[in-house]
Structure 1
Amino acid sequence: MNEQHKKRRGPSTKISADGKRRLFKECRNNFGSAREVGLLFGVTDSSVRKTEDGDSTPNLLNAFMYSIFFGKPLEELFPDLFSIAVENVRKLKTME
């Protein structure tokens, strides 16, 4: 793949290999089961567990709602995504 094509593809959205979201899981456990949280947010318990494990990413609205509901900043609930965003912005700035 040539450099021009790489630049046009845009930033990566992959979740890091060790994407476990420990604070998210801790907050969810403190509240109740994955099923209970899922019912509140209109998602399945499987979706909540996949989000905890970093196997899935919530949509933007749910991410903000989790942050508000649990009283924690997005970058603490989803540190893997925050790190990816920081790295992607750094790369974008070097393309200027």
Structure 2
Amino acid sequence: MTPKQAEEELDSVFGATADMIPTMVYRQFPRIPRQSLRRRLVLMSGANGKWLLVLKDNSSKTMLSTKIEQEDVEGVRKLLDLGEQKPMWYRIPS
């Protein structure tokens, strides 16, 4: 495989993964809103490979005031094997 072919393969795998993870979470936890989110998955640090799965944002008053059940948040944390990480607000550049 040439370096260009390897890069193309990685790009296609990345695209599928970036779509698969949020879809898997939202299907398993249908009470988590997703229709109005600006972005569902955000790369926070390319060097460290840190990703942010968006469960809620401030894209609208409705979305901002949406209540997400703690049971769902805990389920997502376990599904993604996030250990003791807790959800929090992050500033995401536009």
Shorter chain as normaliser: what TM range? Answer: 0.3 to 0.5
Relative contact order, higher structure (CA 8 A, sep 6+): 1
Query: Counting helix residues as a fraction of each chain, which structure ranks higher?
Result: 1
Choose between structure 1 and 2: higher strand proportion: 2
TM norm structure 1: 0.35
Q: TM-score, normalised by structure 2?
A: 0.35
